[in-house]
Amino acid sequence: MLTLVLILFAFLICRSFYRLYWHPLSRFPGPKLAAASRIYEFYHNVIHTGRYIWKIEELHRKYGTSDAFVPEWTNFSGSIVRVGPNEVHINDPSYFSEIYPGNSQKRNKDKFYLRMLITLSDSTVATGEHELHQKRRNHSLKHFSKKSIVDIEPRLKPSIEKMMEIVQQRGSTGAVFCLDSLAMAMGTDVTSEYLFGLPLGFLDTPDRANTIKDVLFSMSHYGPLMTFIPFGDRLRHLVPTSFIARVSSDTRVVLENERVIRDICALKLQAPATPFSKFTLVDSLNDPTLPPSERTLDRITAESIQFLLAGTETTGWAIAVTMFHLLSERPMLLRLREEIKQVLVRASDYPSWTALEALPYLRAVILEGLRLSLVTINRFPLYDTENTLVYKDWAIPQGTSVSQSMWFVHMNEEIYPEPSKFNPERWLSAGESLMRYFVPFLRGSRDCMGKNLAYAEMYVVVALLVRRFDMELYETGLPDVTPYRDGMITHKADGSQGVRVTVTKVLAD
């Protein structure tokens, strides 16, 4: 036994020396401990629960390469830092599209990062290899095109109107309620209706816990830890759920809800074919033209959970953050309300997404809300298996994971002056020039498939809330809408109860 311990110790010492002095990244700036092992990230992301992203921000200030060659075509000094044994992080918005390019350039996902997506291992988002990812993505992408979402708008209306009815009921009682939780319930019902042909019914009992939201937050809490556990996906099938429940309530929530979604998918696959007017995503995932390996219950369950999680948090949080800022600046809200009246002449009217998109100030508000409400601020590392990437005077060897946080792009003062300020005017004055640096759904072949559905929900819900109700914030401040911890999703400050509001008036036609 002692011999094995000594051999292991010698191996770790030799590996550390290799990473520090002979590794292809050995000359890149960054802390030595981060280069030598993952212990540095473990300390900041597991011991301090999701704080590594802020340490990386600090490292860029410390190891900034402003003295390096800066191409004439960019105004950004930028910097590159080695944040792991085989990973560099670049803080330069002009290089974002090079890290996250379109389909023509092959990028694989970092396997270390993928470990946190343990429950989604058979889904598109957790597919590391470029070719398989593109096949899976391209099959589902057609159902999220702008035309497809416009076609299914009538199927969104019942859940959105039900949300408005609940807001009105809250107004009649003067109750305080959490706007982000209500919006997430709406998002879950909309997404599940598109997935399965019927909503999961969270809006039917709005005070009931949204278990899909609980899954998302549970996965995010244990996600950083899971990146340090090899073969976690296999282990979860071997360890009894009863044991996991005693060890971790977070993982218990995930596995129990996975079983529920799995049962729904199994029933859906056994049911007769759905009429085309109610065609669902599960029907598409079970397309007979797909290989049998792509139509297994495990695969369809994982993909369904992926869509549900994305549809729950992204839209709901963006709506809540946008409304927080509007309620904090009433002149801004009143200006928006007057513009919305061009489409919603009566408060009881229901708008189309395309009609609302034509309103310039509403569009600016939506873009600014999305900029400040990133559901994920993590660094999302990818690697090129074939080519050497070049950033300024740095040659990044093939196989090196490269990342850049979307939050750093959106907080860049050179692009967005006073970046923490909610300022829709920046989108009206800058025109389309800012869109190059607008990345709330990532960019390229790995961007969010459901972004058009998110846009449609967000435009309609924000417009209806502004047109139909006067609301006030209740004990809610900037810490409640500002990223604090990073996991699979962004976490607010400890103890935050979300965006809480009261309805002060229901507006008449």
Q: Binding-site residues for heme, please?
A: 448
506, 171 Cβ separation under 8 angstroms? yes
DSSP assignment of 102-148 equals -TTS--EEPHHHHGGGGGGTTSSTT--SHHHHHHHHHHHHGGGSHHH
Pairing mode of beta strands 485-486, 394-396: unpaired
Cα separation, 488 vs 440, in Å, equals: 15
Cα separation, 77 vs 64, in Å, equals: 9
Which letter does DSSP use for residue 275 in this model?
P
Residues 488, 215, 232, CA angle at the centre, nearest 5°?
Answer: 65
Q: Is the dihedral of CA 415, 421, 426, 427 positive or negative?
A: positive
108, 114 Cβ separation under 8 angstroms? no
In what helix (H) or strand (E) does residue 427 lie, and over which residues does it extend?
helix 425-430
DSSP assignment of 381-440 equals -EE-SS--EEETTEEE-TT-EEE--HHHHHT-TTTSSSTTS--THHHHHHTTGGGGG--B
Structure tokens at 14: 């030799």
Q: Which residue ranges make up the annotated binding site?
A: 448
Cα separation, 38 vs 381, in Å, equals: 15
* CB burial of residue 97 (10 Å; 0-12, 13-18, 19+): middle
Name the residue with tokens 């990386």: 56
Structure tokens at 254: 């995930």
110, 383 Cβ separation under 8 angstroms? yes
Identity of residue 11: F
Mutual angle of helices 360-372 and 330-340, in 10-degree steps: 130
Structure tokens at 349: 């009217």
Structure tokens at 354: 């395309």
274, 283 Cβ separation under 8 angstroms? yes
DSSP assignment of 138-181 equals HHHHGGGSHHHHHHTHHHHHHHHHHHHHHHHHHHHHT--EEHHH
